[in-house]
């Protein structure tokens, strides 16, 4: 079975089949027809020969911040699914939230001849930008915005303002905001600022802020120290991981959510529906983000015009962990 055979069966040009096999642009109807023919015939292209001819390896590298992240795993699911459908290969590298290791991984993936790199952004430094420039292959950053590099980001303004308005609409005036380090621009700065803006649209709101860790166990230990000292009737956590850590600490300290305080997070993690009470959150489209990242790197490889910044929408999910305040 050859490309010519596939083309004849599909009733399309050989160039269309070649574009399909290399992850190029073909219509949905044609792609579905070719998918079916490839499944029925068991056709397996010689990817090595393809890469020599196209001067590509058909490999996309990813750099993730840590292995125990729900959001990263969801994004990877989307990336892997999209690459598999296009018969491309995925390499996953882990930086363990170490900037030096992250930059090292950029160079390592380039040495392994990856066609492109998808970088899960945390803190983007000048060293990151230098490495991206030097490897000279398409790089797409997820979750963080930086000049001169293609980025896919979440609509943090919408998420934060919507959450802030929800909490104040329930009558809460004393709010505890558990944020992360400001070096993280998306979550530590943009999300935080949007939450504050949403809360400030209601008069007489008092906001207390405490910085905590992204890591569940560390945030849990910090929450055990913070909860006995706060007078807040609502706690907003900038991630669902932190919200889950607060819930564990609250149970251990015999607080009842939402009677003692309302609790909310950001992310839309599956775990927020399993715990009791289920946690109010903002759902982010992580899998769709992964798929969009693959589409973007393929467009860049094909020298197509791509916006420098693409924004992903999100939605507020109200559950049992937030309720109207009861004044005594």
Q: What is the CATH number of the domain that holds 13?
A: 1.10.260.40
Confidence of residue 97 (pLDDT cuts 50, 70, 90): confident
Rounded to an integer, the average pLDDT of 2-29 is: 82
pLDDT (average), residues 121-142: 91
Q: Residue 175: inside a domain, yes or no?
A: yes
Strongest mean pLDDT among 16-25, 41-50, 52-61, 238-247: 238-247
- Is 73 a member of any domain? no
Note the pLDDT of residue 274: 95
Asked whether the predicted pLDDT for residue 109 surpasses 60, the reply is yes
pLDDT of residue 232: 97
Residue 46 has pLDDT above 70, yes or no: no
Task: Output 3 or 196, whichever has higher pLDDT.
Answer: 196
| 50 band by pLDDT with thresholds 50, 70 and 90 | low
Contacting residues for 119 by C-beta, under 8 A, at least 6 apart: 62, 63, 102, 106, 128, 139, 140, 141, 142
Residue 47 reports pLDDT greater than 60: no
- Other beta carbons within 10 angstroms of residue 156's beta carbon come to 26
pLDDT attached to residue 291: 97
Given a cut of 90, whether residue 248 has pLDDT beyond it is yes
- As given in the structure block, the two tokens for residue 4 are 């010519």
Flag whether 58 is in a domain: no
| Position 201 pLDDT exceeds 80 | yes
Provide φ and ψ at 175, rounded to 5°.
-115, 135
H/E segment holding residue 193 = helix 192-200
Domain span at residue 24 reads 1-45
pLDDT at 145 exceeding the cut of 70 = yes
Extended beta strands in 35-193, E state: 59-64, 89-94, 116-120, 139-142, 150-154, 174-179
Residue closest to 117 by CA, chosen among 186, 60, 180: 60
Query: Which pLDDT belongs to residue 327?
Result: 62
Structural domain includes residue 182: yes
Confidence of residue 45 (pLDDT cuts 50, 70, 90): low
Cα–Cα distance list, 211 to 159, 177, 181, 237 (Å)? 19, 8, 7, 10
In a domain, 256, yes or no: yes
Order of strands across the sheet that contains 174-179: 206-211, 174-179, 234-237, 262-264
Dist CA 174 CA 208 (whole Å): 8
Q: How confident is the model at residue 113 (pLDDT cuts 50, 70, 90)?
A: very high
Is the per-residue pLDDT at 108 higher than 70? yes
pLDDT, average across residues 20-48? 79
Residues pairing with 311 in the sheet: 153
pLDDT value of position 223: 98
Mean pLDDT over all residues of the chain?
Answer: 91
CATH of the domain at 278: 3.40.50.2300
Could you identify the residue written with the tokens 């300290």?
253
The per-residue pLDDT for 17 is 85
pLDDT value of position 54 = 52
CA 131 to CA 299: how far, in whole Å? 21
Question: Cα 288 vs. chain centroid, distance in angstroms?
Answer: 9
Check residues 326 and 66 and name the one with the higher pLDDT: 66
Q: Tell me what the mean pLDDT of segment 211-223 comes to.
A: 96
Q: Give 166's contacts (C-beta < 8 A, 6+ positions apart).
A: 264, 280, 316, 318, 322
Distance CA 232, CA 5 (A): 69
Sign of CA dihedral 102, 103, 107, 113: positive
Q: How far apart are CA 135 and CA 72, in angstroms?
A: 24
Residue 285 has pLDDT above 80, yes or no: yes
The model's confidence at residue 149, banded by pLDDT at 50, 70 and 90, is very high
Where residue 43 falls (left for φ over 0; alpha for ψ -120 to 50; beta otherwise) is beta
Structure tokens at 272: 């927020």
Please tell me the predicted confidence (pLDDT) of residue 48. Answer: 44
Total tally of structural domains belonging to the chain: 2
Is 192 a member of any domain?
yes
Contact residues for 323 (Cβ-Cβ < 8 A; gap 6+): 170, 258, 262
Q: H/E element holding 168? A: helix 156-169
In a domain, 203, yes or no: yes
Would you state the pLDDT for residue 51?
Answer: 47
DSSP letter at 25 equals: -
pLDDT (tens digit per residue) in 52-84: 445 789 999 999 998 888 899 999 999 999 999
Please give the pLDDT value at position 202.
83
pLDDT at 83: 95
pLDDT of residue 213 exceeding 70, the answer is: yes
Q: What is the pTM of this model?
A: 0.77
Provide the phi-psi class of 87: left if phi over 0, else alpha when psi is between -120 and 50, else beta.
left
Average pLDDT over residues 229-236: 97
| 39 is a domain residue | yes
């Amino acid at each position: 079975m050859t490309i010519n055979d596939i083309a004849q069966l599909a009733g399309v040009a050989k160039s269309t089949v070649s574009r399909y096999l290399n992850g190029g642009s073909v219509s949905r109807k044609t792609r579905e027809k070719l998918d079916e023919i490839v499944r029925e015939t068991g056709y397996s292209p010689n990817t090595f020969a393809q890469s020599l001819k196209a001067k590509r390896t058909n490999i996309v590298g990813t750099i993730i911040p840590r292995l125990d992240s729900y959001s990263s795993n969801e994004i990877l699911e989307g990336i892997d699914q999209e690459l598999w459908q296009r018969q491309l290969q995925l390499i996953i590298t882990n930086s363990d939230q170490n900037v030096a290791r992250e930059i090292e991984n950029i160079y390592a993936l380039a040495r392994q001849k990856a066609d492109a790199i998808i970088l899960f952004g945390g803190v983007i430094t000048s060293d990151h930008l230098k490495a991206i420039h030097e490897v000279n292959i398409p790089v797409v950053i997820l979750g963080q915005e930086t000049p001169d590099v293609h980025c896919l980001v979440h609509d943090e303004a919408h998420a934060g303002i919507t959450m802030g308005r929800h909490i104040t609409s329930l009558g809460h005036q004393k709010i505890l905001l558990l944020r992360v380090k400001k070096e993280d621009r998306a979550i530590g700065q943009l999300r935080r600022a949007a939450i504050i803006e949403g809360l400030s649209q209601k008069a007489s709101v008092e906001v207390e802020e405490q910085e905590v860790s992204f890591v569940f166990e560390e945030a849990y230990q910090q929450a055990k120290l913070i909860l006995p000292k706060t007078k807040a009737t609502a706690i907003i956590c900038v991630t669902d991981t932190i919200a889950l850590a607060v819930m564990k600490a609250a149970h251990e300290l015999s607080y009842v959510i939402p009677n003692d305080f309302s609790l909310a997070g950001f992310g839309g993690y599956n775990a927020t529906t399993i715990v009791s009470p289920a946690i109010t959150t903002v759902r982010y489209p992580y899998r769709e983000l992964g798929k969009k990242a693959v589409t973007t790197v393929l467009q860049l490889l094909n020298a197509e015009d791509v916006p420098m910044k693409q924004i992903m929408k999100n939605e507020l999910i109200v559950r049992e962990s937030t309720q109207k305040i009861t004044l005594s």
